[in-house]
Structure 1
Amino acid sequence: MNFYIKADRFLLDNKEVNDQYLEVCNGRFGSFVDTVSTGDKVVDWSGYTIAPGLFDTHIHGINGYDVMDGTEDAIKEISKAILRLGVTRFLPTTLTSSKADLDLAIKSVSQAVAQGLPGAQSEGIFLEGPYFTEKHKGAQNPGYFRDPNYTEFQRWQRLSDGAIVKIALAPERAGALEFIQQVSKEGVLASIAHTDADYDCCCAAVDAGARNFVHLFNGMSGLHHREPGVAGAALTDSRAFAELICDGHHVHPAVATLAAQVKGEKLLLITDCMLAGLMPDGNYHLGEFPVVMQDGVARTESGSLAGSTLRLIDGVRNLHQWSKRPLYEIWHRGSLSPAASLGRDMELGSIAIGKLADYVVLDENMTVQATAVEGEIKYQKA
C-alpha cells in the first residue's frame, strides 16, 4: 500500500523537516514532497510531529509480564504494551537464572515470534548473563554465575533458532576474551556488564570484539582519575557503544549529559524495564528476587536498584531536557543508535528512503498519539 503522511514536523537523524508530505511505499519510507496529486492517499497528521519508532535493546518486562515468565503470552503482552510508548522494535532480555528457566525463556521468545507479535517486533534475544562476577551483581543471582562456555551458548543459539543477537558478560572471567572472539565472529553483539574488570581488561575485551557496555555506570567499576575502570573504558573507546538508563535514579542528570557529550552517536538509551513498569507501587519480583517498587523506583530487599520502570520515551524526554540538545538528536539515541549497535541501521532507526516505515506520532507534549510498524498503524490513542 502506498500513501503519504502529512505533518507539521518530521524528526530526521540530522535535522527537522517541516510542513512536508512523506511517501510510504509498501511498508518503507520514500521521499519528501511539497505537494501531492488529487488522487493520492494522504494520512493527515497536521499539528503533530512524526518521529522514527524507538528501539529498546534492553527490556526484561513491563505491565506485569516478564521475559523470564517463559510464556508466549508474556512476550506478546510486552510487545503490545511498549507499542503505546512509541517503541516499535525491542530485544526481549533474559536474566541470570537456572538452565531450565533460561531454556524456557529462550523457547518462549522464539515461539511467540514465530506465531507473530501483535505490536512492537522482536529483533532478537539479549542474554544478560549468566557469565558475570559478584561484586557488581545488581539484581542478578550470583548462585548461577560461571565462566563463559561457548558450547553452552551454541546450545542456546540452536534452541532460539539463531535468534540470540546480544550477550553480556564480565570480561575478567576465565575464557571471556576467547568467548567474545567466537560470538563476535557470528555477528552476536558481545557486551560488557556486571563486572569489576579494570580499564586494561576492558580494552582487551573491545580488542577481542566486544562493542557495547551495558547500562553505563551501573553494575561496573566506576571512573577514577588514576583507574579509569569499566566506566572509563566505555567513555573513551570510540569503537564501543554504551547504554544509558535516563530515569534520573540510575545516573545523575549531569553525568548522563556528560556521557551524551562524550559518546555522541555511540550512546544508546535503554530502559532495563522490569515487569513493574506501568504498574502501581507494590511488591513484585525480578527473576527469583522479591522487589519493592516505591514512587516508581524498584529495589531489591538489600536496597539495590532492580532494573527500572522507565518508559523509553521518558528517557528521551529526560535527556533532551537535561542536555538542552535538539530533540531530533536525542530521539535518535533511542532509535538509530540502538539499531546501529546491532548492525540494523540500514533498515531501522531513522526516517530515510528505503528504511522500514516504523514511526511515532507525537503531540506538542511528546505524548504518543499513534505508532506504526512498517507503515501500518498498530496503536492509536483513543
Structure 2
Amino acid sequence: MTRLAGRIVTPSGMFPGEITVTGDSIASLDLAGDAGDDIIVPGFVDLHCHGGGGHTFTTGDAAAAREAAAFHLGHGTTTMLASLVSSPFELMRDATLAYRALVEDDVIAGIHFEGPYLSHARCGAQNPAFLRDPAPGELTELVKIGEGAVRMMTVAPELPGALDAIAFLREHGVLAAVGHTDATYAQTHAGVAAGATVGTHLFNGMRPPHHREPGPVIGLLSSIAAVELIADNIHLHLGMLAFAAGSAGPDRSILVTDAMDATGMPDGRYELGGQEVVVADRVARLVRDGSIAGSTLTMDVALRNAVAAGLSLTDAVTMASTTPARLLGLDDRGAIAPGLRADLVVLDADLNLRRVMKAGAWIAA
C-alpha cells in the first residue's frame, strides 16, 4: 500500500487530499485537509510521438521503441502510441509485427501510422517518396496482423479512396485522424462523417484557414472531432493554442508531443523517415527544405506550456490525460478516481516533474 498526499487534480478541480494505492489501482481518494505543495495529476497519454532519448519508433525496431517509451515514461507519459511516419508498406508491416509484443507488455498502447495516405501539397516533414493513395489491401493486412495493436492512422480525406479507408478504420476500431491535408471545409466534414475522430496536429500540415474557404482547421474545430495540439511554443503560438483549446474545449482538445528521437538529446543531425534533420535550439527542421520535423517536446513541458498559455490546470490535465485516454477507449486510466489504474505524476508547485508512478509502481529517476 502506498499513500500520496498533495493537491490532487481531478476532473472536478484541484483539491488537497490523499491518494491510497493498492496494487496497481487507486484504492481510495480522500479530498480533505492541508496536504502540502505537491500537485498530483494523472499519468499523461500521448497519442502522437515518434521517439525520444536518442531512440525512434519510426524504424520498427522493438528494442529502440522500448527505450523511447522508457524515456517518455520518465517524463510522466504512462500511456502512449508509437507513431511512425510515411514508409514503404514492408516497414509498416514489419513494425506492426514487432510492436505487438510491446503492446502486450504494456510498453506502448498501440501504433499510430502518420501516413502514408497523405497530401503531397501538405506533406510537411513526411517523405514525399512514400506518399500514396489509400490501399485497401494494405489496411486489411495491417489490421489483421496487428491483432488490435494498430490504434490510429492519419489520412488526408481528399485523396481517392480516403473516405472508404476512414470508414474501414472506424469499423475495425482504429482511430482515423485527418491530417497532412489540403482538404476543403466540405471534404474535412466528409472525413468526419465517414468516421474520423481526430485532427492530427491542428494547423500544422494543413491548408491555412481563409474566410472564403475555411479549410481543414475550421472544418475540424466546427466538427465533433478532437484536435491534437503541439504545445511546444514552436508549432503553435501560445495565443493560437489558447484559441484552439477554447474553441474545441478540453473534451475535444489533446496535448501531444510529436517528439522525435532528438528529444532530450543535444543539438545536431538526426534522421526521420529517411530524411536528414538538423536540431538547433530545440527546433527540428528538415535539411532539404527547412520544414519543421516533429518536436523535442515532452508531455510535462507541454502541460506547463498549456497553463502558461492561460488554460486552467484542470483543463490542461484533461487535455493531457483524460481526453486522449477516452479516445483510445481506455476507461481504466486518464483521471484520478478510486478503481482506476494508479498512473500518477507528482509535480512541484511550479509544475516541474518530481516523480512518476505507472500501474502502482514508482519509476526510477
TM-score (norm 1): 0.91
Quote the offset at 1:72 in angstroms.
1.6
What does the per-residue CA deviation read over 1:209-235, in whole Å, with 9 as the maximum and x for residues that have no partner? Answer: 111100000001111111110001111
Cα distance in structure 2, aligned partners of 1:186 and 1:269: 25
Show the counterpart of 2:76.
Answer: 86
Show the counterpart of 2:205.
Answer: 219
Cα distance in structure 2, aligned partners of 1:164 and 1:209: 16
Show the counterpart of 1:22.
Answer: 19
Show the counterpart of 1:5.
Answer: 4
With 161-170 and 141-150 compared, the bigger mean Cα shift is at 141-150
Q: 1:113 to 1:340 in 2, by over 3 A?
A: closer
* AA aligned opposite 2:296: T
Q: Is residue 166–residue 195 contact of structure 2 (8 Å, CA) maintained in 1?
A: yes
Q: Is residue 89–residue 138 contact of structure 2 (8 Å, CA) maintained in 1?
A: no
Quote the offset at 1:30 in angstroms.
3.0
1:240 lines up with 2:237 in the alignment: no
* AA aligned opposite 2:9: L
Q: 2:355 aligns with which of 357, 370, 378?
A: 370
Show the counterpart of 1:31.
Answer: 28
What does the per-residue CA deviation read over 1:330-378, in whole Å, with 9 as the maximum and x for residues that have no partner? Answer: 122111111122222x211110122111001111222222111111112
1:338 lines up with 2:336 in the alignment: no
Superposed CA RMSD in Å reads 1.7
Q: Is residue 282–residue 293 contact of structure 1 (8 Å, CA) maintained in 2?
A: yes
Equivalence map 1:253-272=2 (5 Å): 253-264=238-249, 265-272=251-258
Q: 1:157 to 1:273 in 2, by over 3 A?
A: same
Quote the offset at 1:160 in angstroms.
2.2
Quote the offset at 1:47 in angstroms.
4.0
1:72 lines up with 2:62 in the alignment: yes
Q: Is residue 103–residue 109 contact of structure 2 (8 Å, CA) maintained in 1?
A: no
Cα distance in structure 2, aligned partners of 1:187 and 1:24: 32
Cα distance in structure 1, aligned partners of 2:314 and 2:74: 20
Cα distance in structure 2, aligned partners of 1:182 and 1:73: 31
Cα distance in structure 1, aligned partners of 2:241 and 2:141: 38
1:162 lines up with 2:161 in the alignment: no
Cα distance in structure 1, aligned partners of 2:142 and 2:12: 39
What does the per-residue CA deviation read over 1:18-63, in whole Å, with 9 as the maximum and x for residues that have no partner? Answer: 1x2222233222332379xxxxxxxxx8542211000111000111
Equivalence map 1:278-357=2 (5 Å): 278-301=264-287, 302-323=289-310, 325-344=311-330, 346-357=331-342
Quote the offset at 1:143 in angstroms.
1.6
Q: Is residue 226–residue 253 contact of structure 2 (8 Å, CA) maintained in 1?
A: yes
Cα distance in structure 1, aligned partners of 2:128 and 2:181: 12
Cα distance in structure 2, aligned partners of 1:162 and 1:11: 31
With 148-157 and 225-234 compared, the bigger mean Cα shift is at 148-157
Q: Is residue 230–residue 257 contact of structure 2 (8 Å, CA) maintained in 1?
A: yes
Q: Is residue 202–residue 228 contact of structure 2 (8 Å, CA) maintained in 1?
A: yes
* AA aligned opposite 1:101: L
Cα distance in structure 2, aligned partners of 1:340 and 1:135: 32
* AA aligned opposite 1:236: S
Cα distance in structure 1, aligned partners of 2:266 and 2:40: 30
Q: 1:196 to 1:149 in 2, by over 3 A?
A: same
Cα distance in structure 1, aligned partners of 2:137 and 2:159: 16
What SS does structure 2 have at the residue aligned with 1:109? helix
Show the counterpart of 1:150.
Answer: 136
What SS does structure 1 have at the residue aligned with 2:115? strand
Show the counterpart of 1:40.
Answer: none
Cα distance in structure 2, aligned partners of 1:21 and 1:298: 41
User: What is the number of residues matched between the two proteins?
Assistant: 362
Cα distance in structure 1, aligned partners of 2:175 and 2:232: 25
Show the counterpart of 2:50.
Answer: 60
Q: Is residue 167–residue 188 contact of structure 1 (8 Å, CA) maintained in 2?
A: yes
Unmatched 5+ stretches in structure 2: none
Cα distance in structure 2, aligned partners of 1:292 and 1:3: 44
TM-score (norm 2): 0.95
Q: Is residue 59–residue 84 contact of structure 2 (8 Å, CA) maintained in 1?
A: no
Q: What percent of counterpart residues are identical? A: 35
Runs of 4+ in 1 over 4 A off after TM superposition: none
1:379 lines up with 2:364 in the alignment: yes
Q: 1:34 to 1:173 in 2, by over 3 A?
A: closer
What SS does structure 2 have at the residue aligned with 1:276? coil
Q: Is residue 180–residue 209 contact of structure 1 (8 Å, CA) maintained in 2?
A: yes
